[in-house]
Amino acid sequence: MNNDEKLGQEMYMRKCVTVICGVMVVLFVASSAHAQTQGTENGEWRYIGGDVWHTRYSPLDQVTAGNFEDLEIAWVWRGDNYGSTTLGVSRSTPIYVDGLLYTVAGERRTVIAIDPATGETVWTYREPHTTRVNRGMRKGYGKGVAYAEVDGRGVIYVITPAFFLHALDAKTGRPLEDWGQSIQLPDFPDTGVVDFCRTLYRTGDHGRVGMVSMMPTSEFPENLGTSRVLRLRSW
């Protein structure tokens, strides 16, 4: 590969990373559409920070300063069963919705649903392998998943190091039907996936430095659990 090809690939991947930063804002807005009050409710933890305001606070009172030393380990769940990470540690913060924990593990960001009462794995979803995974620059930085309710059903969203967005049924882990676009790659599902590199970024000279503005095309699914997002900006 010559220097021009290397530079072109670097610019392409930088554009994709910038798009992902912007889409994280979309997912944040999408999952916050139904949260009208500050704080967590019913013991749930639907966001990485607990609620849409990232207060990281729960009103549950079963664990107190008085009984903390009496707590015992109920179960251990091993994330390294799904492969190591670049950093050697997991940066993912699980969310808790409707009786299940959701998190990611490994460099591929395998999505896992866990029964919090027993520690048993309820379902897993791993993106089919592509060469784009090998070029992913943030493989060790998967911090978890996003959640939203779409047409009355829970949906788990995850962005992978290969710059695909997957939408999964929260109860079954299956790709969301009638959503996304057809990905013409081996073993990819026929639904429930969006290729950000192909769909969102625009060509230009903004790939290396500065602020980039992106306008989603008509291919981008408008319903992420909220109204249409017209414009994204990210550093």
| C-alpha dihedral sign at 49, 50, 51, 55 | negative
Distances (CA, A) of 55 to 50, 197, 221: 6, 33, 30
Which single residue is written with the structure tokens 């990210």?
Answer: 234
Q: Name the residue ranges covered by the structural domains of the chain.
A: 3-55+75-234
Taking only the tens of pLDDT, the chain with its 235 residues reads 555 555 455 555 555 554 454 455 445 444 444 445 677 888 899 988 888 888 888 888 899 999 999 999 999 998 888 877 666 666 788 999 999 999 998 888 899 999 999 999 999 999 998 888 877 777 767 788 999 998 889 999 999 988 899 999 999 999 999 898 888 888 999 999 988 777 555 433 222 223 333 333 334 454 544 333 333 333 2
Residues 6+ apart with CB under 8 A from 210: none
Per-residue confidence (pLDDT) for residue 131, from 0 to 100: 84
Let me know if 193 is exposed, middle or buried by CB neighbors in 10 A (0-12, 13-18, 19+): buried
